[in-house]
């Protein structure tokens, strides 16, 4: 039986008594998925995984997809390197976000596996978007339900975090911009719970409104949805693995380790059209 230990009040749990390098039983897969749905992000420690084993674990939980902006590993295109080198100042994705909400079908979840970590820093923050919605006033919840927002891959604060990697790992023939419209409040297809589904990295404006008209309300939501009491924080070690539900969480890698190298492998799992 797997072991589950909560790490914070809002979300997050560490999973123990499991070796992800070996094929998992149906009961173990079911237990891991149940813990993931309950805690939104789950963490595994001290896992020694080849890329093939990492991909095998991902396939047990979902359908790996290629990341739309960067090339994957030559033999494993579904695995993307997420790295910051010693001389670089920006960290990839270093802003609060839900992954690739600028796609028509954003991912169900993402897995991140630590291969090299700095001697300090480089933690990742996660935020519970069920609670972000539920802690709004009744009037605000009522207003937001039924609203739609536009997400873009070209929002400036997000593109700055990708500049180093785009120089060396960008896909060929990328479009200038990915754009998608999604509900501001989405219903989780497995739990039925409602989650706030805007994020500062990609959400540009509300549908049928200009950016300047949307700015005040979006600014409030961006601050509200990452309040400290809605978050947890994970400190990485080599061999750590995180698996988060992109439909009801946001994450933010902390950029506090200049001068050191950090190398992670990421797998994204295909999702559905938000409703």
DSSP letter for each residue of 73-131: -SS-TTEEEEEE-TT----TT-SSB-TTTTSSS--SEEEEEEEE--SS---EEEEEHHH
- Mind listing the domains of the chain with CATH numbers? 3-269 (3.60.130.10)
Task: Out of 162, 165, 251, 262, pick the active-site residue.
Answer: 251
Decide if 251 is catalytic. Answer: yes
Task: Out of 99, 162, 182, 202, pick the active-site residue.
Answer: 99
Decide if 237 is catalytic. Answer: no
Contact in structure between 35 and 2 (CB atoms under 8 Å)? yes
Over residues 223-260, the pLDDT tens digits come to 999 999 999 999 999 999 999 999 999 999 999 999 99
Over residues 117-130, the pLDDT tens digits come to 999 999 999 999 99
Could you tell me the CA-to-CA distances from 67 to 72, 96, 202, 242 in Å, in that order?
Answer: 7, 18, 16, 17
Helix axis angle for 51-61 and 26-39, nearest 10°, is: 70
Contact in structure between 232 and 65 (CB atoms under 8 Å)? no
pLDDT tens series, the chain, 275 aa: 899 999 999 999 999 999 999 999 999 999 999 999 999 999 999 999 999 999 999 999 999 999 999 999 999 999 999 999 999 999 999 999 999 999 999 999 999 999 999 999 999 999 999 999 999 999 999 999 999 999 999 999 999 999 999 998 999 888 999 999 999 999 999 999 999 999 999 999 999 999 999 999 999 999 999 999 999 999 999 999 999 999 999 999 999 999 999 999 999 999 999 99
Q: What confidence score (pLDDT) does residue 1 get?
A: 87
Q: What confidence score (pLDDT) does residue 245 get?
A: 98
Task: Out of 39, 202, 265, 266, pick the active-site residue.
Answer: 266
Task: Out of 39, 97, 165, 188, pick the active-site residue.
Answer: 97
Say how far apart CA 34 and CA 1 lie, in whole Å. 13
Q: What confidence score (pLDDT) does residue 173 get?
A: 82
Q: Which residue has the tokens 């509200």?
A: 224
Contacts of 243 (CB under 8 A, 6+ apart): 36, 41, 42, 43, 44, 61, 109, 110, 111
Decide if 99 is catalytic. Answer: yes
Say how far apart CA 58 and CA 94 lie, in whole Å. 24
């Amino acid at each position: 039986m797997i072991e589950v230990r909560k790490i914070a009040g809002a979300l997050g749990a560490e999973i123990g008594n499991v070796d992800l390098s070996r094929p998992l039983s149906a009961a173990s897969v079911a237990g891991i998925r149940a813990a993931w749905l309950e805690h939104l992000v789950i963490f595994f420690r001290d896992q020694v995984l080849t890329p093939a084993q990492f991909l095998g674990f991902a396939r047990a939980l979902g359908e790996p997809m290629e990341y739309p902006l960067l090339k994957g590993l030559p033999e494993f295109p579904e695995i993307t390197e997420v790295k910051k080198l010693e001389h670089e100042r920006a960290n990839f994705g270093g802003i609060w976000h839900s992954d690739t909400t600028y796609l028509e079908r954003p991912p169900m979840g993402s897995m991140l596996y630590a291969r090299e970590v700095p001697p300090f820093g480089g933690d990742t923050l996660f935020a519970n978007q069920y609670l972000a919605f539920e802690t709004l006033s009744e009037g605000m919840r009522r207003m937001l339900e039924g609203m739609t927002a536009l997400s873009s891959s070209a929002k400036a604060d997000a593109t700055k975090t990708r500049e180093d990697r785009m120089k060396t790992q960008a896909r060929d023939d990328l479009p200038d911009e990915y754009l998608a419209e999604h509900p501001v409040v989405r219903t989780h297809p497995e739990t039925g719970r409602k989650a706030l589904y805007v994020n500062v990295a990609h959400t540009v404006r509300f549908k049928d409104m200009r950016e300047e008209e949307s700015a005040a309300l979006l600014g409030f939501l961006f601050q509200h949805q990452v309040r400290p009491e809605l978050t947890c924080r994970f400190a990485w070690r080599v061999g750590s693995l995180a698996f988060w539900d992109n439909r009801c969480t946001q994450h933010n890698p902390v950029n506090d380790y200049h001068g050191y190298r950090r190398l992670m492998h990421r797998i994204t799992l295909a999702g559905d059209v938000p409703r």
